[in-house]
Structure 1
């Protein structure tokens, strides 16, 4: 489980989307930077289509409630884990209670947070992506907000160095 501590508008749960429903008025949704989602998921050992957090309004922070692997991809949101600066596009291991913070990137628009096991939200029309226009998918069809708790799927066994040892 992860808990959202701070979030601006429009930060949502996204995967690679739900193509094939436009004929009934449903947009594909999905991440705006699918390559960043794919790579983030590969870094943490997930299927490339696992649900991740799309952060487009900053600052953003979350707390891990259990030990889990994570990666931040996309725009360089200057990620910090419990105050220690991290590199984007790398996998790290968070311990229970640690806080991940992202700040406004100097360029580009969106960062993605992938966690081992992916975000465990309901699948709607073959996707876990949030459709804000439709009001479904992701986190009950709405942006993430302070206090939201998002379940995480089962993570495969991974051997990782703790993030605290890398900073």
Structure 2
């Protein structure tokens, strides 16, 4: 497939890189893993197949041979040579035709899978782009050619794949620690009680929030320590940052808590201004 219109930020995404954090390499991979997985199932790919992640503005590709595609994630109009095509279902695209995903009508990130997967060379076991370290393929530009793998000859008929709508309110569960003791109990309670909103400065590294300051108890900084997906770090501006797929592997700002792994996918679809509510998971 050849890129006709790359969109604001379209990148190749798979499941990401696992087991290389000790090398300073982030996980990367799709921010909304369930949406990419749904698109892959619709075209008969395995879960590890790479697809495309779009950001707000969509993408347009010319099929250099006949392909089967599916678009999920952020809802958006889909056309093939200007004719309306299905979103969230398999779509056959003939050779020479242009499949276009327009701007998202809700949410932020869309996913386009093609039968056979996007077959760019893997780097450290993944085809995913990594915007923090620069590993993997660069964001798409007009004229790029994307190799497509060989589709599976055995593809069951795909059933509809239910996906949640982009959140009107982003609810994130929060397990306190490992540095909750760097914050007064009143600050922890306020984090769960007061409202926040998604900041326009959010990106694939972290979901930045805007709201009441979360004040520390001790001052100073920590030695650098390991960071994980979903870590909620409180930097000097006292505004919580939820680490997403491209997060650094270490950091020295205190982590007040960690969002369980199932929750950050919704953060991938939270537009700037979306209300954010943290729900504390108390120990039993």
TM normalised by structure 2 equals 0.53
Could you list the runs of 5+ residues in structure 1 that have no partner in the other structure?
161-167
Alpha-carbon deviation of 1:58?
1.2
Identify which of structures 1 and 2 has the higher relative contact order when contacts are C-alpha pairs closer than 8 Å and 6+ apart.
1
CA distance in 1, matches of 2:104, 2:58: 10
CA distance in 1, matches of 2:83, 2:67: 17
Secondary structure in 2 matching 1:150: coil
Q: Does 1:143 align with 2:142?
A: no
Specify the alignment match of 2:189 in structure 1.
none
Specify the alignment match of 2:121 in structure 1.
122
Specify the alignment match of 1:152 in structure 2.
148
Specify the alignment match of 2:23 in structure 1.
24
Note the alpha carbon deviations across 1:82-124, whole angstroms, 9 max, x for none: 1111221100111001101111112100111100100111111
CA distance in 1, matches of 2:37, 2:58: 23
Alpha-carbon deviation of 1:60?
1.7
Specify the alignment match of 1:15 in structure 2.
14
Note the alpha carbon deviations across 1:35-73, whole angstroms, 9 max, x for none: 011111111111111000101141420000101111001
Alpha-carbon deviation of 1:156?
2.3
The equivalences for 1:24-63 within 5 A come to 24-63=23-62
CA distance in 1, matches of 2:133, 2:81: 36
CA distance in 2, matches of 1:83, 1:50: 28
Could you list the runs of 5+ residues in structure 2 that have no partner in the other structure?
158-284
For the aligned residue pairs, the C-alpha RMSD in angstroms reads 1.6
Secondary structure in 1 matching 2:40: helix
TM normalised by structure 1 equals 0.88
Alpha-carbon deviation of 1:126?
1.4
Larger Rg: 2
CA distance in 2, matches of 1:130, 1:41: 18
Secondary structure in 1 matching 2:52: strand
Specify the alignment match of 1:98 in structure 2.
97
| Number of residue pairs the alignment of both structures matches | 156
CA distance in 2, matches of 1:29, 1:66: 30
CA distance in 2, matches of 1:159, 1:20: 32
**Partners of 1:9 and 1:143 within 8 A in 2:** no
